[in-house]
Amino acid sequence: MGGGSHHLPPEYKGWDQDLLDIDPEVKPDILCDAKNMRTIKKKYDAVLCSHNLEHFYRHEVPQVLDGIHHVLKEDGFADIRVPDLNALIEAVHKGGLEIDDPWYEVGNGTKISFHDVLYGWGKVMKQGNLYYSHKCGFTEKSLGKELTRAGFKKVLTACDGLNIQAYAFRKLPTSAQKRQLGI
């Protein structure tokens, strides 16, 4: 879901994918606001929602998660990835850094600032693409709570110093899912 990248993480190698995005410039397979995912009839084994959930207002997050839950098969799961606000705050505080200082670099050498992580990717937003604005944020605990409230039966979270990743299962994960995901 979202992000414009058609590259799946290694754990999904060989999987078919349908890219959902609100931005027609991305040329998604499914042009849809994630708040309207309940209109999608197809059911999926998994939904990868990578750096998308923070683009919604906090009060919209339950609606998006409900839509993700809706499009999953009975034994499906969601893989949610968002910036880790606890890590951001700690990095600024411990490093004596400023909001416009770079926090990390992406593969092409683009520097991402603390401001970009909090409010959205300024470089793209300056060009008029406001789909990149951030409207809320998460800690590991708050993301877990949102996923549990959305009806997921098992939620596993982990942080890597920049991001939070959560696997949210409609029902308890199968042995095959655990092997596939390395959990």
Residues spanned by the domain of 26: 10-84+139-181
Q: Is residue 79 one of the residues assigned to a domain?
A: yes
User: Which tops the pLDDT comparison, 99 or 3?
Assistant: 99
Separation CA 147–CA 167 (nearest Å): 9
Nearest to 55 by CA among 140, 159, 165, 129: 129
pLDDT digits (tens, 9 = 90+) for 85-132: 999 999 999 999 999 999 999 888 999 999 999 999 999 999 999 999
Q: Is residue 21 one of the residues assigned to a domain?
A: yes
Q: Is residue 164 one of the residues assigned to a domain?
A: yes
Q: What residue type is assigned to position 164 of the chain?
A: I
pTM score, whole prediction: 0.92
Quick one: average pLDDT of 56-79?
98
How many domains, the chain?
1
Length of the chain equals 183
Q: Is residue 56 one of the residues assigned to a domain?
A: yes
**Helix spans in the chain (H):** 61-71, 85-95, 114-119, 122-125, 140-149, 175-181
Nearest to 148 by CA among 78, 85, 82: 78
The CATH number of residue 73's host domain is 3.40.50.150
Q: Is residue 106 one of the residues assigned to a domain?
A: no
pLDDT digits (tens, 9 = 90+) for 7-41: 789 999 899 999 999 999 999 999 999 999 999 99
